[in-house]
Structure 1
C-alpha cells in the first residue's frame, strides 16, 4: 500500500510539473505575442473613443462596456477558434482574409474623410436626430464592434504568428491570454479617455486649489483631445489597413509597393536619435497612402456602380 501511495504521489507530482511547464509556456508565448501586437493595440485605443462621443455622460461607460463585450465575443467565439482552425487546416487563407479586412478598414476611413470634405455633417446630424437615442447607441456600438473585429483579427494573427510551432494547447492558451489582456487594456484606457471631462469637473469642485486648477484645465483640454482622437482614429484605420495590404503583397511576392514602403522606413530609421520613431512614422504614413488609394478605389466602385445601373434603366 505505501509503495502504491508513493507511486500515486509521484504521478501527481509529475502531472503538476507538466501543468506548471505548460503554464510557463503559455505565459512566455502570450508575453511574446502581446509585445508584437502592441502597435495595433495603440491603433485600437485611438479608434474606439469616437464611437462613445455625443452621448450623455451616464451612457458613455455602458457604451464602452458593450463594445468591450462585443470585442471579447469577436475574439473568443470567432477569431480564436478561427485562427486555430486556419492554422491547422488552411494556413494559406489567413493572408487573403486579413487583406480583405484591411481593405474594409481603408474603405471605412476613406469614406469618413470624403464625407468630412464634402460637408455632409449636417445631413449626418439630421439622420442621427431621426433616430432615437437607443437606436443611435445600437448603431454606434454595432459600427465599433465591426471595426474592432478587423483590428482584433490583426492582433490575433500577429499573436498566432508569434506562437507558430508551439503545441496546439499552448497556442490556444496564449491567444486566450492575449485576447483578455489586450481587451482589458484597450477598453480600460478608452473608458478613462471618455470620462476625462467628468474627472476634470469633479476635480474643479474640490477643496485643493491645485486640484481645482488642474480640473479646469482638463475640462478645457478634453474637447481638443477628443477631436484629435477622432482624426487619429481615422488615420489609424488607414495605416493599419494599408499596412495589412502591404504585408499581404509582400507575402504574395508583389515587390514594388512593399519595397518602396520598407525603403522609406529604412531611410527614416537611419536618422540619428529619432531613428526608431521616424522609421515608424514613415511606415505609418506610407501605409496610410496605400490605404487611401485602396479605400478610394473601393468607394469609387461602390458609388459608380449604382449610378451605372440607374443610367442603364
Structure 2
C-alpha cells in the first residue's frame, strides 16, 4: 500500500492543485530520503504523470518555454503509508508550498521517498528503471505476458517484482490471482493460465482505479486522499484480507499463508497448486 490504483487516484486528485503552479519551497529534515528537492524550488509544475507506484511531477523553469532543455522530474514514492494532506499533522514529513497553496506529505511509517532528477535518469531507482508495462496501457500485450509467465517462478513474487507488469502489489496480486483461479505459488503457467491472469490483472486494476483504490481499516497512516476521502474497492475484495470468510465463488473459507515473506490470501478449492510436470496439453 499504496499500489497503482491508489497512486493513480492521488495523481488525479492533486493534479488540479499543482498543474501550472510554481513551487516556492520544499521543507523537510531528511535529505537522504528526499533527495535534491531544493532543485524544484522556483520551477513550474507542467503536469503530473504516474509510472507504476511512482508519482512524477514534470518541472520546468517558471519563465521557460515548454521545451526547456533543463526540465526536471520530481519523483514521489508513497511507500506504505505516504499521502498528501491539506493540513499539517503529527506525521507530516514534507511541506510543499506553491504560489497557490500548500500540500503536506504525511507518512506514519517513513518509507516514502522523493527525488528530483533529470527526466529518465533513474539509476538511483532500480525498480523504476526496470519496470514493466502499465497494466491498463496498450504496451501491456497478452502474447508477451503469456510467454514470460510460461517460464516464470512462483507467480505472486514474480508479479510483485514489477518486471512483468507495473503497479501490482500485495492487494491486487491476490485479487487478480483469485480472479484467474491460479495458486499464488504456481510456477510456469500454462498458456491458458497466463491468458486468464492477463485478463484478470486488467479487469481488477481497472475496477480498482474507478473505485478510487482500497482503504484498509481505520488506523493511522491508512490510505486516504488529501481531502480525507477513502477508496471504495476494499468492499469488492474477494481474497485479500478475507481469511476465514467464504470464497464468493465456491464457499470454501479463504486462507492466509506467507509467500516470499508476504501475507497471501487464496481459496484452497479454487486455486489449487498444480504439481510441476502436470501441465495439461489441452490447456495449452
TM-score, scaled relative to structure 2: 0.26
Structure with a larger share of its residues in strand? 2
Q: Highest Rg: 1 or 2? A: 1
> Larger helix proportion, structure 1 or 2?
1
TM-score, normalised to structure 1, is 0.24
- Which of 1 and 2 has higher RCO (CA within 8 Å, sep 6+)? 1
